[in-house]
């Protein structure tokens, strides 16, 4: 891909490209977006991650101008966009199904926005050619839309927006319709396109891997609210709420009751009776409260003999319930004597290649690796 020419704007200034302040959208009695506030600095890749129906599409459509906000403010480069119609906003949108115009060839599709601005014909041809080259599709102007593959259409849709040099590019789950292989490929490509154009991208998705791989910052959204905003590793390793812990990445969820509190160290008993200790940064749980413990499968260490497993960690002797082979993502489901099942990542050392259901195995996890939340939070 010819992304070597990095000609984007390198000047960063203090005013964020996009800023939402207490943005709210009500549909009759239903509140789709609930006091959402965030800022996206220039040139960054911002993802809004949430399950379907969480309000992320409504939020994006408000930024694009297709839906009006019930209250709150929306600023692009410091200017309020509340009363600006969609065709006057300095944002462009890549639609879920791309919405390329089937009656036009690729050149006319990409040139559409420039024609609306009254740019001269020769200038349009030149700029369309340039932007198509930048997305790696030189010389396709005369082709029809249906002559392109899924990934190429994606790039044309981005080129059609980028040719207008928008302040913010909005992307509405554009990878949803692609098959898995292509989706993996397009993730990397989108990220490098964003870096090459140095434009602010706001990307919405329900696919956590898309959000984690591409973004500078991720906002996790649920029921119209932002649960957490942060860098991908932060959201993954330090989920702020039980919802984030359960939604981003795989996690074992254990329902438990707090048995003892010792500073930041909690002792919990699962409903089945397993004892465990969890170290929390914020000890806002009291004895007797119901809690949810989230434990990443990769935080669980496996051992056949249990030798060298010290007692200040959560060690238990389990039986293998099933082995889920999935190449590098293989995992094993184990069951402790009390009947709790845990999903653990299978180490890729080959030492466990002959693991069979029914085998005995020791699990160990560090108290600081798990997250613990008050149960009624969900």
Partner 1 sequence: MSDTSKLGFYLLLAPILLWLVVLIILPHIGLFFVSISEKIGPREYETGFGNYATFFGEPLYWRTFARTAIMSVMATALTLILGFPIAYYIAKLTRGRTKTTLFLMCMIPFWVSELVRTFGWMILLRETGVISTTLQRLGVISGPVELLYNDTAIMVGLVYTSILFMVVPLVTTLDSLDDSLIEAGYDLGGTSTSIMREIVIPHAMPGIVSGCIVVFMLSLGNYLTPILLGGKDSLWFTGMIYTQFITRFNWELGSALGFLLLGLSSAVVFLGLKLSGQSLSETMGRT
Sites of contact with partner 1 (CB under 8 A) = 64-66, 85-88, 91-93, 95-97, 99, 101-104, 112-113, 115-117, 160-161, 164
Which residues touch 122 (CB under 8 Å, ≥6 apart)?
Answer: none
- By DSSP bridging, strand 217-222 and strand 45-49 are parallel
Torsion-angle region of residue 237: left (phi > 0), alpha (psi -120 to 50) or beta?
Answer: alpha
Of the pair 110, 278, the CB lying nearest partner 1 is at 110
* Nearer residue to partner 1 within complex by CB, 64 or 135: 64
CB 25 within 8 A of CB 36: no
Q: How far is the CB of 87 from partner 1 (least distance, A)?
A: 5
Helix (H, G, I), strand (E, B) or coil at 151: helix
Sign of the Cα torsion 245, 247, 252, 254 reads: positive
Nearer to partner 1, 93 or 218 (CB): 93
Output the smallest distance, CB 95 to partner 1, in A: 5
Task: Transcribe 283-303 into DSSP letters.
Answer: ----TT-EEEEEE-GGG-EEE
CB 63, min distance to partner 1, A = 11
167's CB contacts (< 8 A; 6+ apart) are 17, 18, 76, 77, 90, 91, 199, 200
For 145, the 3-state DSSP assignment is helix
Q: Which C-beta is closer to partner 1: that of 128 or that of 302? A: 128
Cα 359 vs. chain centroid, distance in angstroms? 37
| Pick 164 or 276: Cβ nearer partner 1 | 164
Closest CB 162 distance from partner 1, rounded Å: 11
Angle between helices 150-162 and 106-116 (to 10 degrees): 20
Shortest Å, Cβ 116 to partner 1 = 4
The least CB distance from residue 172 to partner 1, in Å, is 9
CB of residue 179 vs partner 1: minimum separation in angstroms?
Answer: 21
In angstroms, what is the minimal distance from the CB of 130 to partner 1?
Answer: 17
By C-beta, is 205 or 340 nearer to partner 1? 205
As a whole number of Å, the end-to-end CA separation of the chain is 45
Cβ nearer to partner 1, comparing 69 with 164: 164
- CA distance readout (Å), 241 to 228, 268, 368, 373: 8, 18, 16, 7
Three-state DSSP at 111 gives helix
Select 151 or 166, whichever has its Cβ closest to partner 1.
166
Contact 8, 198 (CB under 8 A): yes
């Amino acid at each position: 891909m010819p992304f070597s020419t990095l000609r984007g704007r390198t000047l960063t200034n203090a005013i964020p490209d996009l800023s939402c302040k207490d943005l709210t959208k009500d549909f009759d009695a239903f509140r789709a977006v609930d006091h959402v506030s965030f800022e996206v600095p220039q040139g960054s890749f911002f993802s809004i991650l949430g399950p379907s129906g969480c309000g992320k599409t409504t939020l994006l459509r408000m930024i694009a101008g297709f839906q009006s906000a019930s209250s709150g403010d929306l600023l692009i480069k410091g200017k309020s966009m509340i009363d600006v119609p969609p065709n006057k906003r300095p944002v462009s949108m890549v639609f879920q199904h791309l919405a390329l115009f089937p009656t036009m060839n690729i050149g006319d599709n990409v040139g559409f926005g420039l024609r609306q601005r009254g740019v001269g014909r020769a200038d349009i041809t030149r700029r369309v050619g340039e932007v198509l080259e930048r997305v790696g599709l030189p010389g396709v102007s005369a082709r029809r839309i249906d002559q392109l593959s899924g990934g190429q259409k994606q790039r044309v849709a981005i080129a059609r927006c980028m040719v207008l040099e928008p302040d913010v590019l909005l992307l509405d789950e554009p990878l949803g319709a692609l098959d898995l292989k292509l989706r993996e490929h397009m993730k990397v490509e989108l990220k490098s396109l964003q870096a090459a154009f140095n434009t602010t991208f706001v990307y919405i998705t329900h696919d956590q891997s898309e959000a984690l791989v591409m973004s500078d910052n991720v906002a996790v959204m649920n029921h119209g609210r932002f649960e957490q905003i942060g860098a991908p590793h932060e959201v993954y390793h330090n989920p702020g709420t039980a919802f984030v812990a359960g939604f981003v990445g795989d996690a074992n969820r254990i329902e438990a009751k707090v048995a003892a509190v010792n500073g930041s160290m909690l002792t919990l008993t699962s409903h089945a009776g397993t004892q465990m200790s969890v170290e929390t940064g914020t000890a806002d749980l009291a004895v007797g409260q119901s809690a949810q413990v989230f434990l990443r499968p990769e935080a669980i260490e496996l051992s056949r003999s249990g030798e060298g497993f010290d007692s200040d960690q959560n060690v238990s002797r389990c039986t293998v319930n099933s082995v889920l082979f999935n190449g590098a993502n293989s995992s094993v489901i184990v069951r402790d004597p009390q009947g709790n099942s845990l999903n653990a990542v299978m180490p890729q050392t080959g030492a466990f290649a002959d693991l069979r259901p029914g085998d005995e195995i020791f699990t160990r996890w560090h108290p600081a690796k798990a997250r613990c939340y008050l149960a009624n939070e969900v």
